[in-house]
Structure 1
Amino acid sequence: MKMNWINEITDRFPQKKIYLVRDDDGLLMIDNVKVELSELDVSVITYGDPVHFRYTYETKFGRKFDGTLLIRLVDTGFQEVPWDVYQKAFRESIEIADIFPFLDSKAVKELDIEKWEQLYNAQQSLTTRQNYVSSMKFIERVIYHEAEVHISMILDPYVEDLTLFNKKAPVLREWGEIARLIGEHRLYRRMDEEFELLVDGANKKFQEYLKKEYDRNLSLPPAKQPNYVNQILNYLYRIQGISGRKLALIVMDGMSFTQWSVVEKWLVNKSFDFRTEATMAMIPTITSVSRQAIFSGKRPSEFPETITRTSSEPIQWRKFWKEKGFLENSIKYQKGLGHTDYQDTVLEFRYAGTDIYGCVIDVVDGFMHGAKQGLETVQSELRIWLEKGFLESMLSDLMNLDYDVYITSDHGNVEATGIGRIQEGILATGKGQRARIYDSEVLRSNTHDLYTESTIEWESVTLPNKGYFSVIAKEKFAFVPEGEIIMTHGGMHVEEVIVPFVKVLKRDDR
């Protein structure tokens, strides 16, 4: 199903819940939006006089209400809503910039709403945010002066890049472009069944690519960006040596390009810019393997003693930078960030004398493992979290303190379907939903022989050659009850392996 600008609004409310919605641009009052919400059985009331609101809320949406209710706020803070409603409601904000992320909102407001659909489709050709003047020129060119044939020539990145999916043998750089395209396509055109079939076909080729090239590409120099996550630290050390600036690395645990597209769009609207590249996670794509590779700068084969846990990350992070000549008290590491309000969080990059800062924000991983309705739940929860401003405030402070800031992920995620649990008792030392780990090659082979159609035996020089043997679920299968749909990770799918590697830029750094 092709995405339109109204979907950008309605898709924000996938659950039967109460939402507090900041709507300062009046989007919920547009006739076409009201019709679409009504057809989806979504009710909308505007918060105004507290007494009138209380009467309407109690009489129409009391305790027995089990639908979706949007409480529309205009120039009103969330906290002004009665506490009993506030505490059980999701909080969301919608504005013109959410629909037209690369165009100036004031310029869009001056255009008749009837022409928004044409502008929405045409904006896909833009890759950077336009100011008011350039937005008006773009709108004038698209809406008022362009012949129909010229409109068709406006580059649609999805049409152009879809040919990449059909390429017989994409190279490493092109797999990064494909992964990014998947995220962007889902952002603008969710629920596109034809596109998902393209993704499935591309992933089959990606599996063959991994078997042939994953180990071979380890020798490629990380020139423009690190090719694998274990190369990130040496890449950053080289960049830091050139710039001489303070350095911050933010690892968004579990974030695929599909989630990064949401984050990037949100932050572009908040006056950030980015240079987004791609890198490959360690396989199996589980936190103790791939995230530890990031913070140690090593392949998993080089930390066999700690490969099943993450507790050594701060030790390995500090060891790497100390060996590069940095004083220990100038090197900081934090994890578990993003779960509290920003102003209530102690962040060590603010300490005087901090030169190297590494941290883990693991909210995406939490949303993923708690998702009840698959990918849409993750995306919705992510938007709500972004609205709270933690990441925006953190990046602003880091930039103001003159850090070079990078964002990456240890692995992505997929929406997988259960094929049944593997009943092995204590035979498996690692019992992930997409990867099983054994300390014996014989045990690993026995499991694979029983589940040949749904599993792969993964061999790589990046893994220890003793005591660590992995079986990975094929396609989008998961070792959970048959037919169950979950968001998970651990496997070799292109959306799990190819992850973002992002440099945060100031506007004048572009």
Structure 2
Amino acid sequence: MSSWRDQILKEFTPNVAKLTLVADPDGLLLEEGILEGVRDRGFELIPFEDHIAFRYAYESKFRSRWDRGEHTDLVVVLRSQASDLNGLPYDLLQAGRKLSFNLGDIFPNLSYPVVIALDTGDLDALYDAQKGHAPGQLGDNATKEFVLRHVFEIAPELIKQPSDLLRVLLRRHYRGRRIPGILDDRFIQILRQNKVFSEWPLDAVVRDRESFFAFLQERWPVFLDRATQGGIEIREDAKPYGLSMEGPVDLPFDHDDIRVYIDNLFVEGLLQPVPHAVAESLAKSWVHIGIQDVSREDRALRLDKLITNLSCSIPEEDARHGDWFRFARGWAELILLLHDVSDADHEKHSERVKTLQDQVDDRFTAWLFKRYAGLMNLPPAPPVMLHHLPRFLARQVEADKAKVAMVVVDGLALDQWLVIRDSLKNKQPGLRFREQAVFAWVPTTTSVSRQSAFAGKAPIYFPNSIATTDKEPALWSQFWADQGLSQREVVYMKGLGDGDLENVAEALSHPQARVAGLVVDKVDKIMHGMEMGTAGMHNQVRQWADQPYLSSLFGLLLDKGYRVYVTSDHGNIEAKGCGRPTEGAVADLRGERVRVYSSATLRDQVKERFPEALEWGAVGLPEDYLALLAPARRAFINEKNCTVGHGGISVEEIIVPLVQVEKRDE
């Protein structure tokens, strides 16, 4: 077989049975390629997790069709062992055939505890390595080293000096690759056998992306000093540089294998340029990209390099969702930088950016229509969509007995988060931000997307409130009640963002409060009154972030012992009018970037006038909630007008920040 997926997909032949019950303890059917293959064969999947939610979807979408004599190819997925299938409801057992899949059958010669720790996206490389190298039966440590070498391109025995280790860590953390903790344990164990790394903070720089970049950031000024002193050996004393992280002071940034990464790290904002006393003497050197320079020429140079980098890294149509997360982070940097250069430079680069923007919109739209439907059932850790967040937080509440807070900044796009982050860093240098991303729901409206974040469910499960946010408090409380928490332990507040911290402090001060859901709607208010486009959004969001409210809110939550996660229900884009539909009252939602109809006939009538508009299927939505999305970068407003809006499927609207806010260790 050419792929591990073939072993699973061969079992899915249409019209064999109307119902298939699958024991899938390792979540293989939820892998994006498997999901696509199963759906291409005409099958529909429902996970059996929440009994009530499952029964609702099963009865409303499938049982009724069977009663009408229609055939379906339905797959019910149980994340448990094959023996547990017998615990499913009797009516399912009577109607369905049974299948079972697990990683032990696919990788029989490798240690099962090691293999199940991997992300499903790593299984392709592992399967190819198993075929190509025929390793024979391997134990735990041998499997760990086999996986490190063939999946993550890490050969621990070849790492003998600092430049070797830096190269491996740069490749890993620049790509944002997740490596399971048990593999990191083995890697660190081997590294510690080499005295060269005895002073290195290996636990921090190997496991933690933010710590690694902080480690580099602190040592970059040291390297610049050495560069200006003609390579003279500096003393190994961290105190003059105020280093907070242990380890060697002097790093070989100028090594050929390291330099290749440094330029991109500064261009993409993963490292921040620093001021230097003799910056002018380094202006022609390769290190100039890491020296603080507010000149027009420097910003234009960074913009030019970022455009070039992103042009070469647009994810392919069959990319995994993590590839789009990484791209969206660089795309946000580009948006921010484009509106920070001079008018002349903006004009100079606007055509290149527009060409790139068109390519991104086309590629992302094609990817969404192919892969978006499979994201909703992915495991919630790490979270991929907004409705995964409550389950992601619940695991921390249960496993770690933690108090958690989800702060939803309504309407906050990734580029606007970067504005807020930079402001907070200046105001409170003691804060640290672990940045991830998640997908919003389509259509990217508040009542659909934000409500799913508080319900912990796809919108199909709250059809009666899908047009309003009034039920958010009840949905949030109900989710946590299902986890065993009482109403007194759960806080929900909305309409925050201006001088209401006393009310928040009072709510959080309840001795039983353990979970907080807070809606900050200031950015959304700015957006809906915005007449100055993206640049105006950046300016007003920066002014708001410079005020004490947000930093005080985070400080309050952290002081009260909460783990703080910041996210958004949708982003926003600057869009030009393409005309306003004249459908009267037939649209259930008349947004600027989306219209919603209760029947396909009504939607088709409007699409005839707007042939470039996109019909969005009922992915995770009620069957009578049919969206017509405005064309790329366009809005359903008068053709002469522009707006900043949301509801569509651009990268900026769908991929939103998920950031854990922490205090730095003193």
- Do both proteins adopt the same fold according to a TM-score greater than 0.5, normalized to the shorter chain? yes
Distance 2:320 2:264 in 1: 30
Choose from 371, 385, 400 the match for 1:243: 400
Determine whether 1:329 maps to 2:488: yes
Mapping 1:341-352, distance limit 5 Å: 342=501, 348-352=507-511
- Tell me which residue corresponds to 1:171: 320
Q: CA deviation at 1:103?
A: 8.2
Q: Cα gap change, 1:303/1:141 in structure 2, threshold over 3 Å: closer, same or farther? A: farther
- Structure 1 counterpart SS, 2:376: helix
Q: Could you tell me whether the CA contact under 8 Å between 1:267 and 1:392 is conserved in 2?
A: yes
Q: Secondary structure at the match of 1:384?
A: helix
Output one character per residue of 1:146-203: Cα deviation in whole Å (capped at 9) or x when no partner.
Answer: 9725557999783544421375654311111222212222333424412343123111
Q: Percent identity?
A: 33
Aligned to 2:337: 188
CA–CA distance in structure 2, aligned partners of residues 438 and 178 of structure 1? 33
Pick from 557, 560, 567: which aligns with 1:401? 560
Deviation of the 1:507 alpha carbon: 1.1
Counting strand residues as a fraction of each chain, which structure ranks higher?
Answer: 1
Higher helix share: 2
Q: Is the 8 A contact 1:165 1:198 kept in 2?
A: no
Q: 2:270 corresponds to which residue?
A: 127
Change (3 A) 1:147 1:233: same
* Offset, 1:256: 0.7
Check the 8 A contact 2:316/2:363 in 1, yes or no: no
How big is each residue's C-alpha offset from its partner over 1:275-318, in whole Å with a ceiling of 9 and x where there is no partner? 11111111000000000000000101111111000000000000
More displaced 10-residue stretch of structure 1: 239-248 or 276-285: 239-248
1:209 corresponds to 2:346:
no
For 1:125 and 1:254, locate their aligned partners in 2 and report how far apart those are by CA, in whole Å: 23
Distance 2:424 2:539 in 1: 16
Looking at CA atoms only, which structure, 1 or 2, has the larger radius of gyration? 2
Query: Residues 149, 274 of structure 1: CA spacing in aligned structure 2 closer, same or farther, 3 A cutoff?
Result: closer
Equivalent positions of 1:95-106 (< 5 A) are none
| Whole-Å separation in 2 of the counterparts to 1:504 and 1:444 | 43
User: What is the SS of the residue equivalent to 1:412?
Assistant: coil
In the alignment, which residue of structure 1 is the partner of 2:617?
A: 459
Alpha-carbon separation, structure 1, partners of 2:264 and 2:457:
44
Residues 1:354 and 2:503 are matched in the alignment:
no
CA contact (8 A) 1:262 1:383 kept: yes
1:145, 1:440 → 2: CA distance?
64
CA RMSD after TM alignment:
3.2
Deviation for aligned residue 1:383: 1.4
Q: Counterparts of 2:355 and 2:504 in 1: how far apart (Å)?
A: 43
2-structure distance, mates of 1:481, 1:321: 44
Give distance in 1, aligned partners of 2:386 and 2:560. Answer: 26
Q: Distance in 2 between matches of 1:470 and 1:121?
A: 39
Q: CA deviation at 1:501?
A: 0.9
Paired residue secondary structure (1:164): coil
CA distance in 1, matches of 2:500, 2:387: 31
The change in CA–CA distance for 1:349 and 1:441 in structure 2 (over 3 A counts) is: same
Question: What is residue 494 of structure 1 aligned with on the other side?
Answer: 651
Letter in 1 for 2:547: K
Query: 1:239 Cα shift?
Result: 2.5
One-letter code aligned to 1:474 = P
Cα deviation, residue 345, structure 1: 6.2
2-structure distance, mates of 1:282, 1:295 = 13
Amino acid at match of 2:334: H
Q: Distance in 2 between matches of 1:195 and 1:292?
A: 34
The 1:316–1:152 alpha-carbon spacing in structure 2 relative to 1, beyond 3 Å, is closer
Is structure 2 residue 442 aligned with structure 1 residue 299? no
Which one-letter code corresponds to 2:330 in the other structure?
A: L
1:479 aligns with 2:636: yes
Gap change, CA 1:212 and 1:166, over 3 Å in 2: closer
Quick one: distance in 1 between partners of 2:629 and 2:586? 16
Cα contact 1:335–1:361 (8 A) shared by 2: yes
From 530, 533, 536, the equivalent of 1:377 is 536
Match of 2:580 among 421, 443, 450: 421
Report the counterpart of residue 97 of structure 1 in structure 2. none
Give the Å deviation of 1:389. Answer: 1.0
C-alpha contact (below 8 Å) 1:122/1:142 kept by paired residues: no
In 2: Cα distance, 1:258 partner to 1:237 partner? 29
Q: Which residue of 2 aligns with 1:259?
A: 416
Partner of residue 83, structure 1? none
Structure 1 portions without partners, runs of 5+: 1-101, 112-119
Contact 2:505 2:556 in 1 (8 A): no
Residues 364-373 or 120-129, more deviating: 120-129
* Displacement of 1:349: 1.9
Q: Measure, in 1, the Cα distance between the counterparts of 2:368 and 2:559.
A: 41
Alignment-derived partner of residue 148 in structure 1: 285
Equivalent-residue separation in structure 2 for 1:165 and 1:228 (angstroms): 21
Query: Which secondary structure does the structure 2 equivalent of 1:214 belong to?
Result: helix
Aligned counterparts of 2:277 and 2:309: Cα–Cα separation in 1: 24
Amino acid aligned to 1:254: G
Residues 409 and 501 in structure 1, CA contact (< 8 A), matched pair in contact too: yes
What amino acid is the match of 2:323? E
Q: What is the match of residue 430 of structure 1?
A: 589
- Partner Cα separation in structure 2 for residue 492 and residue 146 of structure 1: 41
Q: What corresponds to 2:389 in structure 1? A: 232
| Contact residue 282 and residue 288 of structure 2 kept, 8 A | no
Unaligned runs of 5+ in 2: 1-215, 226-262, 292-300, 340-345
SS in 2 for 1:215: helix
Q: For 2:280 and 2:317, how far apart are their aligned partners in 1?
A: 38
Shift of 1:219: 3.2
Q: Is the 8 A contact 2:266 2:272 kept in 1?
A: no
Provide, for residues 445-474 of structure 1, a one-character-per-residue CA deviation record: whole Å limited to 9, x for no partner.
221122112x11100331111x21111112
Provide the C-alpha distance between the structure 2 equivalents of 1:385 and 1:439, rounded to a whole number of angstroms. Answer: 39
Farther-moved stretch of structure 1 (144-153 vs 240-249)? 144-153
Equivalent position SS for 1:276: strand
C-alpha spacing 1:122/1:354, structure 2 compared with 1 (3 Å): closer
**1:165 alignment partner AA:** I
Supply the distance in 1 between the matched residues of 2:437 and 2:555 (Cα, whole angstroms).
Answer: 23
Contact 1:129 1:268 in 2 (8 A): no
Q: Structure 2: which amino acid aligns with 1:127?
A: L
Quickly say closer, same or farther: Cα 1:314–1:343, change in 2 above 3 A. closer
**In 2, Cα distance between the equivalents of 1:344 and 1:439?**
40
1:197 counterpart residue number: 355
Change (3 A) 1:503 1:445: same
Shift in CA distance, 438/123, structure 1 to aligned 2, threshold 3 Å: closer
Equivalent residues of 1:276, 1:502 under 8 A apart: yes
Contact 2:424 2:551 in 1 (8 A): yes
Higher relative CO (Cα under 8 Å, sequence separation at least 6) belongs to 1
TM-superposed deviation, 1:357 = 0.5
Q: Distance in 1 between matches of 2:456 and 2:503?
A: 31
Shift of 1:140: 7.1
Q: Is the 8 A contact 2:375 2:385 kept in 1?
A: no
